[in-house]
Every structure is written in C-alpha cells, then in structure tokens.
Chains A and B, each alone.
Chain A
Amino acid sequence: MFIPVGCSAPSFKEFTLIMPAVSVGNVGQFATDLVISTLHMPRVGYFHSDCLVPMVGNNPYATSPEDSSELSTNAEVYSLPDLKLAVLQIRAPIIQTKYRQFRKSVVSWIKTNEFSKVVLLSSCHAHHRDDRQLLSTPLRYLLTPALQSVVGDGLQKLDWKEMEKVSAFPGISDTEQRLYIPGGGVTKTLYADCCSEGIPLAVLLIFCSEGDNMPHAFALVNYLNEWLHLVEKPGNVAARWKIPSSWKLLFGSGFPPALF
C-alpha cells in the first residue's frame, strides 16, 4: 500500500518508474541506490506492505550529519517531477509465502498511477548461462508487448541483446523454449504479469554471481543510462554516479589492531 510522506498524494501520471527486483547479488537494488543518490531524489512516500520483511535504518543517502538521522524503511518511493521520474526502492526480501500478493500489489499500484513505463532492474545467476550467453555481453533486456510497440525501434539503435529463451529440455528437444531467469526473484513472474495486464515494462538484467557486486551495479545502471539518459555523459566518458553513504563497510567492520 502506498502512503505519501505529506498529506497529499503525488501524481505519477506519465512518469517513468524504476524499481529493482530482489535478485542475486542485490544488483538491482544497488543500481537503484545509485540513481536515487546521484539525482538527489526526494522521498515522496512509502510502500508499506506486509509482504516485505520489516527493516529500518537511518537515511541511506545522507550527505551531512544534519540529514543523517532520518528514518528510512524497507520500501520507499522517490520522485523528481522535472524528469517525470519515480523510483521505488526495496531494501528487504519478500516474505516467502507472499510473492504472489506482492506482485499483485505492485501491479495494481502501477496501474492506478498510470506510469508511462516501468523499468525493472534485475540480475540472473551467471553460472546458468548457456554457450551463446557466455560468449557475449552479460547485459540483457526484455520488453512486454505493451512497451515493445512504443520503444521497440529505439532500442534497436542501441544494439542491445534481448534475453534469450532456452530449451525446456536441452539435448532432447529444442521445440519447447522458455524464459529462464534463475536467481531473479520476482523478475520472471512480474514480467509475465505485466505482459498479461498490458503494462509497459522493461526488464534490464545482468548475469552475475554473489560477492562484490558493486561493479555489476555500475554496469547495470550505465546500461539503463544508455537508454534513458538520466545522467548526462560528456563524450565517451562514463557517467559519474554518486555512491551512497550506506555502501560503506559493505564487507563488515574494521579490523582490530591487535590482529597484527
């Protein structure tokens, strides 16, 4: 359920929505963090739901001691009306028995707000790639039919690779092909829901394994930027993303000096 920060609900009509899938290496969530942090997006509401594990912390995008003690919850919505951009950040896993309910509430929220398009940032287990996928870039995209009709040609120019379908029974029969996104969390099912509901959704994903996933987040957000131009990049220089303060100590506390 969406609850606005102030008294009045903001309008997202014709906005682009960016949201992550909680997937392998949390890459989609990291990439979403980079978008919010770099564009200094203000928080406009909460996605308060019983489908997500509760979690709170202080402002993940704090830049000074003054703004560091603002409480932040497990799912929040950020918006920049000038760019017609809204971002839903999800910071906690979905409760195992509530996947379907979560998808339902996201889909109905997207529908009632009339977003012009939705971008789902996701990731997929790298060790499940087949031979074709091993030999090329790790980045893939998927479009629902509703979005294909709008931006399909635009993406042709970018020379992007669509996520391949794989054989359901490899080595035995190649007739049955299916979409296979292991480690993608809700990615595949949310994509299927959006296809059947006629929602214009794009999935951008990267093949990765768990570990230091920051480079994957930069690769995925640069991939997104090639399409949406959220951050201008002069010439061929890579866009400058701002790492949020919450990314520090990603691998734990400092070492005790007595160790050495």
Chain B
Amino acid sequence: MMATFFGEVLSVYSRAVEEDEDELEDESEEDVQIRREIENKREVHVHWSSEITKSTDKPFQCSDFIIGVGHNAAGFLSAFVLSSGSWEAVGSASLWNERSRGSSQPAGEPSCRFYRSAGCSSVLICLCTCFVAEDQLFQWTEKVFGFIQTRGLQVLVLSDASVSEYTTADPVSASPVPFLRALKSSAYQDRVHCPMMEQPNIVTCLPAAVLSHCQVHQIPAVLYQCYSDVVSPDTVTMETYKPALPCLSKLVTLDSSPSIDVLRKVVKSSESQSNLYT
C-alpha cells in the first residue's frame, strides 16, 4: 500500500513481490489505529428498503439474481429490461475507495442499486457501475448474498471488458468486435447462449468474486462477458448482451425497442466528458 500526498491509499501493483511487505509486525499503536480507520472507511455498506426487509421472510427469496457490471451491462439492463414493466428500487450498496470521486463519506452516494419487479418479485436486478477495490470484493459478495436465500437461486452476471484483455491465437482483428464469452459455475446446468471462454483467458473484479462465491457454495451461475473496443458506453456493445437474456424471458420481458430516453441518458453521461471542441 502507498499513501499519496492527498491521503488516498493506492495499491501498488507488480508481479515482483518485495520481501518486506510484512512490516505490520512492529507497528505502533497509532499505526494500528490508522489502519483500523482506513478499514472502517473502506467497508461496504448494503442497505435494503424497509418494504423488502419488513414484508419478506428472511432471507430474501428470489429465483433469479441478475447483476450488470460496468456501464454497458448496466445500460443494457436499464434500457432493455428495467424500462419495460414496473420495477422498484429496493436497495443499494455504497462504498468508498481510492477511485471514489470527491466525497470522503463512506456511506455517501450509493454505488450499486438493486431493483425488484413489482409484478414478479422473484427477480432481483443489480446495476453496478462503480469500481469495487480488490479488498472490498469479497465483502461485497458476502454481504449481498448473505441477504438472499440461495436455495433455488440462479445468478446471471453481465460484465463489460476491453478487447485488449482478451487473449487468442488468432489476431484479434480477425474476429468481429464486440463479442460475448461465457463462464459458468459447476452447478449451472442450462444452455449457454454464446461460446465458452477459452484458455488462458481469466476474469477478475466483481464478476470473479460473484462467480467464485457461487462456485464454492454450489449456486448455479453464469457470466456473459462482453469484450468491446469502445471505451465509453455505446449502444452497439449494449445490444451484444441480447443473446444472454432468452433464459430469462419467461420471467422478464425484454424490450425489443428500448426507451430512447434511457439510452440517451446512458450514452450522454460519457459524451459530456469531452468538451474541448463544443
């Protein structure tokens, strides 16, 4: 760990491992206190709305849990699923880390939002567009899955990735971008609607934490990872997720002509960043 002038803690990354990383042995009382404060500040807070905590049995029963990680995955779910039918916000997860902007309040702006269909309450959707740090991933999954009844649960994760992270013997330029690759936990028995991820590709961050949790706890889970060459959210990448949803069509209505307003909102948030020539 390295603290910068502004006080945020950055994890310095290298394949080479230094020997003296473990200097915690001889830390003073003040160091312990500072470390504890940082740990508290980086804690993941999950809040559920009072209706959901009051009305339903604990743990919360649901048959499908859909998680959209990244702007395109979350944008796809907002435009194609959440805009059709009536969905209500039922909870949020908030966290603070080195990439959080401005606010030093850990429980400030929520970073992930949970939605439940008003008609069919057995589907829970989570949209996550924020960065969850390495040390917060395990906690995030433990806290979120700790609230949900895992028996009879199926998990679907949609996640954005850059095509530069994808390794293949064929030159990448030969395959049409964007494209989907899937990973599934051992307990997942249904059909997968795109090619499986080839060796030696791996997945990290929140999708990896969710899939690891599902794998060890024998929860059926499938991940659709979309490799795109566009950095900002775009509608072509969002459309790529479409094949991933047939498995849910019995529970969720997929909006074939999504609300233009929602799409505009998702795409616009990144456009306004570049205002040099406008």
Q: Does A129 contact B (CB under 8 A)?
A: no
Question: Looking at chain A's contact residues, is the secondary structure mostly helix, strand, loop, or mixed?
Answer: loop
User: By the criterion CB–CB under 8 Å, are B212 and A73 in contact?
Assistant: yes
User: By the criterion CB–CB under 8 Å, are B212 and A48 in contact?
Assistant: yes
Q: In the complex, how many angstroms separate the beta carbon of B14 from the nearest chain A beta carbon?
A: 9
User: By the criterion CB–CB under 8 Å, are B196 and A68 in contact?
Assistant: yes
Quick one: closest B residue to A52, CB to CB? B138
User: By the criterion CB–CB under 8 Å, are B171 and A58 in contact?
Assistant: no
User: By the criterion CB–CB under 8 Å, are A99 and B21 in contact?
Assistant: yes
Q: Which of A125, A183, A253 contacts B167 (CB 8 A)?
A: A253
Q: Which residues of chain B are near A49, meaning CB under 8 Å?
A: 138
Q: Does A60 contact B (CB under 8 A)?
A: yes
Q: Does B205 contact A (CB under 8 A)?
A: yes
Tell me which residues from 141 to 190 in chain B have a Cβ below 8 Å from any Cβ of chain A: 142, 166-174, 183-186
Q: Does B260 contact A (CB under 8 A)?
A: no
Q: Does B200 contact A (CB under 8 A)?
A: yes
Quick one: closest A residue to B19, CB to CB? A182
Q: Which residues of chain B are near A125, meaning CB under 8 Å?
A: 16
Q: Which of A53, A58, A250 contacts B196 (CB 8 A)?
A: A58
Q: Does A55 contact B (CB under 8 A)?
A: yes
Q: Does A256 contact B (CB under 8 A)?
A: yes
**Range, interface on chain A:** 35 or more
Q: Does B263 contact A (CB under 8 A)?
A: no
Quick one: closest A residue to B13, CB to CB? A93
A-B contacts counted at CB < 8 A amount to: 149
A245 to B199, CA, bound (A): 7
Quick one: closest B residue to A45, CB to CB? B216
Q: Which of A25, A50, A60, A71 contacts B215 (CB 8 A)?
A: A71
Q: A22-B17, A26-B15 are in contact. Are A249 and B167 (CB under 8 A)?
A: yes
Q: Which of A57, A100, A189, A258 contacts B203 (CB 8 A)?
A: A57
User: By the criterion CB–CB under 8 Å, are B135 and A182 in contact?
Assistant: no
Q: In the complex, how many angstroms separate the beta carbon of A19 from the nearest chain B beta carbon?
A: 15
Q: Does A240 contact B (CB under 8 A)?
A: no
User: By the criterion CB–CB under 8 Å, are B201 and A184 in contact?
Assistant: no
A214 to B248, CA, bound (A): 44
Q: Which residues of chain A are near B216, meaning CB under 8 Å?
A: 3, 46, 48, 73
Question: Looking at chain B's contact residues, is the secondary structure mostly helix, strand, loop, or mixed?
Answer: mixed
Q: Does B26 contact A (CB under 8 A)?
A: no
Q: Which of B139, B197, B204 contacts A50 (CB 8 A)?
A: B139
A70 to B184, CA, bound (A): 8
Quick one: closest B residue to A184, CB to CB? B19
Q: In the complex, how many angstroms separate the beta carbon of A57 from the nearest chain B beta carbon?
A: 4
User: By the criterion CB–CB under 8 Å, are A184 and B17 in contact?
Assistant: yes
A58 to B183, CA, bound (A): 7
Q: Does B93 contact A (CB under 8 A)?
A: no
Q: Does B251 contact A (CB under 8 A)?
A: no
A221 to B102, CA, bound (A): 50
User: By the criterion CB–CB under 8 Å, are A183 and B35 in contact?
Assistant: no
User: By the criterion CB–CB under 8 Å, are B215 and A96 in contact?
Assistant: no
Q: Does B198 contact A (CB under 8 A)?
A: yes
Q: A249-B168, A253-B172 are in contact. Are A54 and B204 (CB under 8 A)?
A: yes
A162-193 interface mask toward B, CB cutoff 8 Å, 1 = contact, 0 = none?
A: 00000000000000000011111110110000
Q: Which residues of chain B are near A58, meaning CB under 8 Å?
A: 183, 196-199, 201
Q: Does B24 contact A (CB under 8 A)?
A: yes
Q: Does B202 contact A (CB under 8 A)?
A: yes
**Which of A57, A252, A258 has the most B CB atoms < 10 Å from its CB?**
A57
Q: Which residues of chain A are near B198, meaning CB under 8 Å?
A: 58, 68
Q: A56-B215, A71-B184 are in contact. Are A96 and B11 (CB under 8 A)?
A: yes
Residues of B within 8 A of A (CB): 1, 11-12, 15-19, 21-22, 24-25, 35, 39, 134-135, 137-139, 142, 166-174, 183-186, 196-205, 207-209, 211-212, 215-217, 223
Q: List 11 A-B contacts (CB under 8 A).
A: A53-B134, A56-B223, A57-B201, A180-B19, A183-B17, A183-B18, A184-B17, A188-B19, A248-B200, A249-B169, A256-B172
The 4 A-B pairs at the shortest CB distance, nearest first, are namely: A50-B138, A256-B171, A57-B202, A54-B209
